């Protein structure tokens, strides 16, 4: 019985040591060259460097790598729905995702601009102050005054295509995109006019 107790104790110590060593091991450094190679498949929709492609697709250049990794993992798992992206992400390993995210994050997106002068003031109000009577918080509170976001928490949205931002807000509001409870709650309070105004305003942030 004593020998068994000693054996179990030794195994527990070894197991704890192994877990500690794993936790202390640094994450593998992203390989930008491999990320660029993988990005060749993405170029048709996102351009070679993830910059200003079709307004229907997001600008990826300069996005926080943590956010890109999270989205790709959620496309892969099905938590975020997209027939195209789910199929593509399903072919990627964790290393592929990390490398790809780091590659796009290393690039700089070209500045965007708002298109509708008539809605600038409304878009600015929603982004910077919110709408108190609807308990709609200011976008700047999470995404920062210039749209730079907060790494690992909130994405960079400044300069993003207005069409894409509008589509995502509508998707959050209608439940087609369900991978952020916070954004689903916020978008549910917005009218079509408000969604269009703030999406267009965000496109010009820099």
Which has the closest alpha carbon to 196: 138, 133, 127?
Answer: 127
Structural domains in the chain, CATH included, are 32-105 (1.10.760.10), 117-203 (1.10.760.10)
The answer to whether 169 touches 180, Cβ cutoff 8 Å, is: no
Per residue of the chain (206 residues), what is the pLDDT tens digit? 444 454 444 444 445 544 444 444 566 799 999 999 999 999 999 999 999 999 999 999 999 999 999 999 999 999 999 999 999 999 999 999 999 999 999 999 889 999 999 999 999 999 999 999 999 999 999 999 999 999 888 999 999 999 999 999 999 999 999 999 999 999 999 999 999 999 999 999 98
What is the model's pLDDT at position 28?
79
3-state secondary structure at position 62? coil
What is the model's pLDDT at position 12?
46
Alpha-carbon separation of residue 193 from 118, 120, 185, 190, 199 (angstroms): 11, 12, 17, 8, 10
Residue 80 is encoded by which pair of tokens? 């975020």
What is the model's pLDDT at position 6?
44
The answer to whether 197 touches 119, Cβ cutoff 8 Å, is: yes
Which has the closest alpha carbon to 124: 187, 205, 201, 195?
Answer: 201
């Amino acid at each position: 019985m004593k020998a068994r107790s000693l054996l179990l104790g030794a195994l527990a110590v070894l197991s704890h040591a192994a877990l500690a060593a794993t936790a202390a091991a640094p994450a593998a450094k992203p390989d930008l060259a491999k990320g660029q190679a993988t990005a060749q498949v993405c170029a048709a929709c996102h351009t070679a460097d993830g910059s200003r492609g079709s307004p229907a697709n997001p600008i990826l250049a300069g996005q926080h790598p943590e956010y890109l990794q999270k989205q790709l993992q959620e496309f892969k798992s099905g938590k975020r729905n997209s027939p195209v992206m789910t199929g593509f992400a399903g072919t990627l390993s964790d290393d592929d995702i990390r490398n790809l995210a780091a590659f796009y994050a290393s690039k700089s997106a070209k500045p965007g601009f708002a298109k509708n002068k008539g809605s600038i003031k409304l878009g600015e109000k929603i982004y910077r102050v919110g709408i108190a009577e609807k308990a709609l918080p200011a976008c700047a509170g999470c995404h920062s005054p210039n749209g730079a976001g907060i790494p690992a928490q909130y994405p960079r949205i400044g300069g993003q295509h207005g069409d894409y931002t509008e589509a995502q807000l509508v998707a959050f509001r209608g439940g087609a995109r369900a991978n952020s409870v916070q954004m689903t709650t916020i978008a549910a309070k917005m009218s079509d006019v408000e969604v269009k105004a703030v999406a267009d305003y965000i496109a010009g942030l820099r």
